[in-house]
Structure 1
Amino acid sequence: MSFDLQLNGLRAVVTGGTLGLGAAVVQALVEAGARVATSARTVPEQPLEGVTYVAADLSTAEGTSQLAQTLLQKWGGVDIVINVLGGSKTPAGGFAAISDEHWFAELNLNLMPAVRLDRALLPTMLAQGSGVIIHVSSIQRLLPLPEATTAYAAAKAALTTYSKALSREVAPKGVRVLSVAPGWIETEASVVFAQRMADEAGTDYEGGKKIVMDWLGGIPVGRPAKPSEVADLIAFLASPRSASIAGAEYRIDGGTVPTL
């Protein structure tokens, strides 16, 4: 049986699409036949053929507006919005180390780009009576790491709650909203992090990976996810093949979270 995702020709925007999971999502959508645009602070030197790149800093309202206006002018709207952009830059040290500036920085990176982009692009989706919005959250909304990711985890929890509320509002009008909560993904950034852990412990990269997995409380499947594995899930959820799925969050963490 052919498993065509039926994405051919659909207009999709992916935030943070030049590295890690974002790049994998862009690749998956392009391979499925979608028309894809993505944002990054700088356009890559070797852009993927057929992808529209918009240089914009989405942690600012101005950058998000620039991306949205480019898409509205180029395509007249979009069919799919996938917000991958996110990350944590707050230093370790627990609650006392998190300043107001750190809190606002995490919210401006992990919550507000999705809120602002949805607000700009949803009207055209509602006018056409169809669309899909997917927000990439994190299992850390359920398993925060107090030493270093309290603010990040709280921002991702807010993103998940926002996703659920938005779904309840717009699903009856034809727009599906979902969230995806990955665990540890072996992206470029996580490889660097695991290697740093290995160097500090005097071990090799595999030893560094084990340190990180132990830090997370273990990953029952024994390894982090590959970006392509998470991207395949997102592409399916964005496709008409999942037309009855709305308002849900899909966890892809190798079993890290020990409860349903």
Structure 2
Amino acid sequence: MGDFLTLQGKRTLITGGTQGAGAATVALFRDLGARVMTSARRNPGNLPETEFVAADLTTLQGCETVAKAVRGQLGGVDILVHMLGGSAAPGGGFAALGEAEWQAELNLNLMPAVRMDRALLPAMVAQGSGVVVHVTSIQRALPLPEATTGYASTKAALSVYSKSLSKEVAPKGVRVVRVSPGWIATDASIRLAERLAAQAGTDLEGGKKMIMDSLGGIPLGRPTTPEEIANLIAFLASDRAGSITGTEVVIDGGTVPTA
């Protein structure tokens, strides 16, 4: 891959880069020569201070802390990858989501990207180059009403925000793209499959099938790996994808059943 693709010297911030697809993306970007910083609430213990900043990006103060650290360590960014996202909302449909749950979804899945872009994008515009990658979700087009209404809605908001931003900054030399994953085989999702399997009296493969069935099936027959997500993001952030902007690239094994 190194012969075809390089990110040599690219100053990069990857939010939520300590586990799952985020960690895989951090590792790949470094392998490809990028100068990478990442952030999370806590350092997993294996990242030096020059490559990590501890902050809660669901808050304005946390975003400002990360932006300040990035300017200090890297002098700005050439690539900004928003991996942060997730949901702790309860199941039970719309009635289970009160004010606190909705605000938490917005604070995790939309506002960190808005705030980090606001802090770091002007310098990209000033230098006339840069790439912003927003990681959305197929849930924006395939919500599960029992459990993901809030998550799906905020990812849809992120997608629309990203599209609008791309139209504004593309003429100024900055590309904005979206990556839309389906089910990713992270440690957390495998643990979920194990729990479902135990409850149903089946094995791990049976647990995985339960998750795939809840999504309406995955034609490829398996979840996407974190490394596959990282590969796509690295390509889109590279000069090889120099004319790709304003679009959303789905990586879901064929889960979404429409074109």
* TM-score, scaled to structure 2: 0.98
Any gaps of 5 or more consecutive residues in structure 2?
A: none
Which residue matches 1:228?
227
Q: Does 1:24 align with 2:8?
A: no
Asked whether the 8 Å contact 2:60–2:115 carries over to 1, the reply is: yes
In structure 2, the partner of 1:76 is 75
User: How far, CA to CA, are the matches of 1:16 and 1:239 in structure 2?
Assistant: 20
**How far apart are 1:46 and its partner, in Å?**
2.2
Shift of 1:203: 0.9
Secondary structure of the 1:12 match is strand
Counterpart of 1:247?
246
Corresponding residue of 2:184? 185
Task: Give how far 1:3 is off.
Answer: 3.9
2:51 counterpart SS class? strand
Contact 1:15 1:40 in 2 (8 A): yes
Q: Distance in 2 between matches of 1:51 and 1:97?
A: 42
Aligned match of 2:38? 38
Per-residue displacement from partner, 1:42-98 (whole Å, max 9, x unpaired)?
111223x79701001101111011000111122221000000000011000000000
| Cα distance in structure 2, aligned partners of 1:227 and 1:75 | 26
Which runs of structure 1 show a deviation greater than 4 angstroms over 4 or more consecutive aligned residues?
Answer: none
Q: Deviations over 1:13-50 (max 9, x none)?
A: 00000000100110110010000000011111223x79
Contact kept in structure 2, 1:36 and 1:50, CA below 8 Å: no
Count of aligned pairs between the two proteins: 259
Residue 208 of structure 1 deviates from its aligned partner by 0.3
Separation of aligned partners in 1, 2:49 and 2:29: 11
Which amino acid in structure 2 is aligned with residue 9 of structure 1?
G
- Equivalent AA in structure 2 for residue 131 of structure 1: G
Secondary structure of the structure 2 residue equivalent to 1:134? strand
Which residue identity is paired with 2:232? L
Paired residues of 1:132 and 1:176 also in contact (CA < 8 A): yes
CA RMSD of aligned residues (A): 1.3
Aligned 8 A contact 1:35 1:50 in 2: no
**Conserved? CA contact 1:83–1:135, under 8 Å:** yes
Identify the residue that residue 146 of structure 1 maps to in structure 2.
145
Paired AA for residue 156 in structure 1: K
Matched to 2:18, the amino acid is T
Contiguous gaps of at least 5 residues in structure 1:
none
Whole-Å Cα distance in 1 between the matches of residues 226 and 44 of structure 2?
19
